Chains A and B, each alone.
Chain A
Amino acid sequence: MLSNKTTSSAVRSAINALQHYKVLNTLTNDCFDKALETEQQISIEKKNNSPLYGRPILIKDNFCLRDTLTTCASKMLANFRAPYTSTIVQRLIDHGCIIVGKTNMDEFAMGVASWGAFGPVANPWSLTKTTMTNVENNKTVLHVAGGSSGGSAAAVAANFVSIALGSDTGGSIRNPAARCGCYGFKPSYGLLSRLGMVALVNSFDSPGFFARNIDDLIFATNAVAGPDDEDATLLSKPFENFKTSNELSKEKKKIIIGLPDDYDVNTLSSEYRLCWQDLVHRLTETGEYTFKRVQLPYTPYSNAAYTILSSCEIASNMARYDGIKYGYHTKNIDKNKDTYEDILKKTRDESLGERVRGRILAGNYYLLEENYDKYFVQSQRVRRGVMNDYKKVFEEDKIDCLLAPVVSNDPITLAEYEQADDIFSEDDIFTVGANLAGLPALSFPVRLSSKGFPIGLQLIGPFLKDQELLSTAYRICSTYQFPFLDLTKQI
């Protein structure tokens, strides 16, 4: 690769796009200068043949990158520079990826709107709705991008970069992928190292990727998956690379897909249900797929179990934010009166958002000695019930994977979101199951809604059958064309 090529650098294009579309607020902070430098460097010393070599990527701002701000979109970490790099990010760098910036998200990854301390991410599809303008200020009406990895999803959906890193604890990759119209993949729990990823719910957190085609998901996952001797929750056996579409045998075996009745809830809009049903019909017609309705009876309880278990771990994980070692520290100190507890309270009150504080409060309540069995332990039993539901369907009913919705309706506007009072979303019911059971799940865009927003669906597979899931997704998605957005064409 010659360094005096005058074709525009991939990094330069990404930077231009990100800067041009600042209105989408996809970044919390950028690494533009360093990225350009790195691109120069690695074009001279071509180190490996990785398909990711030289690719600009974005990473969600809850992954630590040495000497770079890692804010988790929170005032508490607004000035936090990590002294180390997360394993996943380091492996991407070792493969030649160039990190252009850190993406915006919900504060500490809690939420479905990617609206933290630095403002909301806007859905890139809002910018295609030239008919929708705010009467008062003549600005384009903006819609939620989903969350909590909204910044990463939006950037990939708009084609600023081809691959972005996110995290999925209760749906935080699949939800924004569906809202923004790109692929979002959450691998099986225990494949990808969480070292350096700011913990939300250790038992459910999974790093994962956004991309515009399934092969890119595979390249990215292959680059980072496998044991890390600093993460004790990973599978210890060596990771075998996933095969891309080219590498798989052309033989097409029949795939049996389950349709969970319990996911067909009232809140699912008729338009979104129709999309689900239409895909089923279309695929049935190819003759390569059989669909079966399946039961997951623990589904109605999964949200409650998820809420309780996640609140408990969140309350615990958030206990470290005291401003003493790093992060925000209150300046409002009365030297004569304030005790350690007073200063601690002020620091946390002033820097943690309302949703975060609410989860901490709830979690601490559930963890009280008198409540532990009633809530935490009972929720673990329900969680096991959820896991067994899936296991039964996959093993006894011989299902290859499940096809289900991810969100129930078009995204609301940012203004509407601000008015709303919900702490949890009704849509969680579609996504938390895979987190409770540690299963691989992939969200893929199907078609546009009548209002012109992407409608996405997800595949959920058996534990550690990620390869099969990715292959099935590839096969399904090659039966149609989704009109991916590309905002860079308009610059």
Chain B
Amino acid sequence: MAATAAAAVLSSGRFYALIGFEIHVKLATHSKMFSSSSSAPAQTTNSQVTPFDMALPGSLPYFNRTCLEAGIRAALGLNCQLNKISHFERKHYFYPDSPAGYQITQQRYPFASNGVFHYPLLIKKDKLKSSTKYKFVDNQNSFVIKQCRIERIQLEHDTGRSIHDDHQNRTLIDLNRFGTGLIEIVTKPDIQSSLEGESFLRELNRLLIKYNICEQSGLETAVRVDANVSLHRMNTKPDGNRIEIKNLGSFIDVRQAIDFEIKRQEQLLTNNYSIKNETRTYDTNKYQTIHLRRKEDQIDYRFMIEPNLPPLYLYDDNDKHIYGKNFVNIDDIKRNIPISPLDERKQYLDKYKDFLTAEHLHELLRLDMIDYFRDVMTHLDNNHLRHIALEVLLSDVKSISYDGRKIRKFAQAVSPILFADIIKHLEKRIITRFSLYTLLTLCNKSRDSTRSLKSFLDEHNMYAINDENELEKICLKILEENPKQIDRYKTNPKKALEQLHTSVCKKYHGRIHDDLVNDVFKRLLDKRIK
């Protein structure tokens, strides 16, 4: 298993890894970065193409303001310095999905640089105990917060889409995607393991969605990651060489690719080979990285200032005397930006300090349940209910959602309102704690997310039996069916009650309150003895 192999390499004390990311984020804007066509995804092939998008002779780019605003939000969220003057450049290479023969980007003069991003390290709860190995730990109850420095953020556009038709030996080009706005975030190699890498990317993903920089679903569609990995012997200085792994499309791929690389490079170093610059790609089927091109084959992109776009000037409150109404003011954007995910979580700790600990929050984060938790909390109006809700989330929901992997589906099927309703019913003892797993599973499986709780309870008869008389009848029946236990009660009352409890729960699955039924059995049995 690559993960354990890599972990072994890193914890051996003989090596350390330097990992950096180049992250391409699709901006959530209505139109493209340099043309007016719509940037909506999944439209009819080649239906969103202006003259500029197909590089018609005589076409010109015109910069989209909302792309700049989204970029500035990203820069602010990543604590970057905003460069008040930046330039667009052309990056030249020939490829069918690049109609002009160049991409417009910001190579030498990006609009933002020198930032830092803090992110919580996501470890499974049981491993937290051994977290003394990691830096930045205050105590076991707080998050392990790490940081990664941001080298730069640049504005650029996406390419078209190539569809390889091996059947007819041809490649088809769809230019709908060409020209849609991107930012590329380049980090410094501060990441030291695949776990850190994944944690960083997940927190970045939260930020990008919260700040409305990219569309939902993060790493799956709106974000593409290239990872730079280099392994070094402990106490040696890095020589700048690194392996670039291109186009990782999911968190899992990123982790596996990094782990594979660490192990692969360890082999090379152990056998006295040095790491030379190389570009590799990740094979998702074989879980390995594969060579793509060497440093000597690296392409010279012949970067040149884009002559059709003037320099990009950014303004702030200090420049009020210069700028016009139409210009973008960094300070305006700063004032309107939402709270960061990190700060928001701090707020939760404070707001719900009666029952929420850092460890809880960390687990919610690891399970990707923070947003769901937040929404559920707003539908419950006292801390007692909220505490119950938290407990259910971290047990039943954690299990039903496969340790958070299917949480998105769960959140869609079981809306926060429905979940809150369930908790309220639980608190009122209309349903029992034991029925929750079944109930939540049923709701999760249901395709109709608008069904009321009542309809589920009715259909599957999941109401708790609260009527004493009815309960007595049931218990009497059970006693009749289990005469052995009546006798047993005389000698081993505890065991007998346990067995009776098991029997009644088997029969009335989930509808029995523990405390109630125990009292009834005791009463009946005591009566019998007398």
Contacts and interface: CB of A to CB of B under 8 A. Distances in A.
Interface of A: 62-64, 70, 72, 77, 80, 82-84, 86, 194-199, 201-203, 229-233, 312-313, 315-316, 318-320, 322, 324-326, 335, 340-341, 344, 364, 367-369, 372, 376
Interface of B: 51, 54-63, 90, 92, 94-96, 99-102, 169, 171, 173, 300-304, 307-310
12 contacts: A63-B58, A202-B307, A231-B60, A231-B308, A232-B63, A233-B60, A233-B307, A316-B102, A320-B57, A325-B55, A344-B94, A372-B303
Q: Which 6 interchain pairs have the tightest Cβ spacing? A: A319-B101, A367-B302, A202-B307, A320-B55, A198-B57, A196-B58
A82 B302 contact: no
Contact of A194 (B51, B60, B63): B60
B325 to A, nearest CB: 13
Contacts of A72: 57
B304 A82 contact: no
Nearest to B324: A236
B304 A199 contact: no
Contact of B304 (A70, A77, A312, A324): A312
B53 to A, nearest CB: 10
Nearest to B309: A232
A70 B304 CA distance: 27
Contacts of B51: 83-84
Contacts, number: 108
B296 to A, nearest CB: 14
Given A83-B51, A232-B60, A233-B310, A316 B96 contact: no
B99 A320 contact: yes
Taking each of B96, B303, B308, which has the highest tally of chain A beta carbons within 10 Å of its own beta carbon?
Answer: B308
Q: Is the interface of B mostly helix, strand, loop or mixed?
A: loop
Taking each of B301, B302, B303, which has the highest tally of chain A beta carbons within 10 Å of its own beta carbon?
Answer: B302
Nearest to A204: B307
B102 A195 contact: no
A368 B302 contact: yes
A312 B302 CA distance: 10
Nearest to B94: A344
Contacts of A344: 94
A58 B102 CA distance: 33
Contacts of A203: 307
Contact of B94 (A70, A201, A341): A341
Nearest to B36: A230
Nearest to B34: A232
Contact of A367 (B58, B92, B96, B307): B92
A199 B56 contact: no
Contact of A320 (B101, B301, B302, B307): B101
Contacts of B300: 368-369
Given A63-B58, A80-B57, A364-B302, 16 more contacts: A70-B57, A72-B57, A77-B57, A194-B58, A199-B58, A201-B307, A233-B309, A313-B307, A315-B302, A319-B102, A320-B57, A322-B94, A322-B96, A369-B300, A372-B304, A376-B304
A409 B288 CA distance: 70
A178 B96 CA distance: 43
Contact of A64 (B57, B90, B308): B57
Taking each of B56, B102, B300, B309, which has the highest tally of chain A beta carbons within 10 Å of its own beta carbon?
Answer: B56
A83 B56 contact: yes
Nearest to B173: A324
Q: Is the interface of A mostly helix, strand, loop or mixed?
A: loop
Given A319-B102, A341-B94, A198 B58 contact: yes
Nearest to B307: A202
B99 A325 contact: yes
Contacts of B56: 64, 82-84, 325-326
A389 to B, nearest CB: 22
B171 to A, nearest CB: 8
A447 B134 CA distance: 87
Contacts of B92: 316, 319, 367
Contacts of A372: 302-304
A244 B235 CA distance: 79
Given A202-B308, A340-B96, A376-B304, A322 B101 contact: yes
Contacts of A376: 304
A232 B308 contact: yes
Contacts of A80: 57
Contacts of B302: 315-316, 364, 367-369, 372
B77 to A, nearest CB: 28
B60 A229 contact: no
A194 to B, nearest CB: 7
Contacts of B59: 195-196
Contacts of B310: 232-233
A184 to B, nearest CB: 21
A241 to B, nearest CB: 24
B55 to A, nearest CB: 4
A335 B169 contact: yes
Given A325-B55, A325-B99, A316 B304 contact: yes
B58 A82 contact: yes
Nearest to B49: A325
Nearest to A195: B60
A360 to B, nearest CB: 11
Nearest to A370: B300
A72 B300 CA distance: 30
A62 B58 CA distance: 8
A340 to B, nearest CB: 7
Nearest to A202: B307
A324 B96 contact: yes
Contacts of B304: 312-313, 316, 367, 372, 376
Contact of A230 (B62, B99, B169, B303): B62
Contacts of A326: 54, 56
